[in-house]
Amino acid sequence: MAQWQWILTQFSRRLWVRASLIGFLGAAGAVVAAFVEPYVPWELPHSIGADAVDSLLDIIASSMLAVTTFSLSVMVSAYGSATSNVTPRATRLLVEDRVSQNVLSTFLGCFLFGIVGMIALKLSFYGERGRVVLFLITIGIVILIVITLLRWIDHLTRLGRVGETTDRVEQATRIAIEQRRKAPCLGGRPLGEAPRPLHDARAVGADLIGYVQHIDMPALSRCCEARQVDILVLALPGTFTYPTTALARISPRKDAPTDEGDADMDGLMHEVRGAFTIASERSFDQDPRFGLAVLSEIAMRALSPAVNDPGTAIDVLGRATRLLALWAEPVEATEPQFPQLFVAPLAADDLMEDAFMLIARDGAALIEVQLRLQKSLNALAQLGDTDFRAAALRQASMARQRAEAALTLVEDKQRLREVHADIEGRPVAPLS
């Protein structure tokens, strides 16, 4: 995805953008009735008085103002609940929830429709046909309000709940994983296939302190074609950068001219640096590791003494297992979209660590969590390639060691060893 497309996508997720658009449509609907009157071909057997339409518009305007205010307070409460009970990193998904945005925008649009319609009636903008058109539009608005309210009531029963928020995090992570599976190197080639070693390429440093949110791969590819260079992408989405961080390295091709000046190279480095979007927070879009880390945070919050909810941690383990099993599925090899770009693929060790390490640490003294963790890693150890299976085995071994250091009951330790022995396919080692 190009940078401008990604920025446009982020822009469209903002609440005020959708609310402004639908609010404009609501106000335009009230004005349209006055302008279409000359084009209405049919004669009216009865006329509709201005008072009748004005009463309906007054009801819509007053009720929608109250409902919009109430809905905003409910959404703010849901955001606070998610921040306290789940994790602050998941709040962004609630803010970007399309159902909530559409409902709130619809209420605002109906409110503006009622206000503009009443003003136009008071100024006698409508004739007899115009009032009929306005009345028909008002009836349609009432039907829309009823449908939206029913949908909003159903949505409010789940908004901000731990299970619902965890579902959203899992879904966002699943989308990121599916996109990365289709393009393991973001459309480029593996970094190990670079024609020259890293130390022979010129580093492009970061100019901001923050997280890489997005990489404009088409822009980097155009730089390669225009300057006859290969670009080695080192900072993947999710990388924390500072002024000495190398975002990428530029490697001239063997057949490229070598007399390029420093000014031209500085311009190329500026273009490459501009292809990296760096911000203060990580994003779910190109960063599957962030979604796994947020799921792990949800489990950590549930395992804290203040919450003491191991069931949520067990639920998160199941979700992480589903996501990593999806990552382990074989993918049909395809030609790279940007063959001049070389990108490091995600490491299985990093994915396993993001998903399970912190849960193993905070739930070390809970046998029910440790048993489910070992079973999850046992399932993953039978999937994927050699590196993936080895990463699962390493996490299982570290989790067992943490648990044995924290568990107090000998029977719990022995039971955990029995489950762990199934992963490695060896006899159970007795406790000394």
Instruction: Measure the CA–CA gap between 275 and 263, rounded to whole angstroms.
Output: 19
User: What pLDDT, on the 0 to 100 scale, is given for residue 420?
Assistant: 87
Sign of CA dihedral 23, 24, 27, 28: negative
pLDDT for residue 47 is more than 60: no
pLDDT for residue 208 is more than 50: yes
Copy the structure tokens of residue 198.
């890293």
Q: How many Å is the maximal CA-CA distance in the chain? A: 97
CA distances from residue 63 to 22, 60, 120, 206, 315 in whole angstroms, order as listed: 18, 5, 19, 52, 41
> Residue 23 — pLDDT band, cuts 50, 70, 90?
confident
Instruction: Measure the CA–CA gap between 97 and 168, rounded to whole angstroms.
Output: 9
Chain segment 154-185, per-residue pLDDT in tens: 888 888 888 899 999 999 999 999 999 988 88
pTM of the model: 0.84
pLDDT for residue 388 is more than 90: yes
* CATH class of segment(s) 184-279: alpha beta
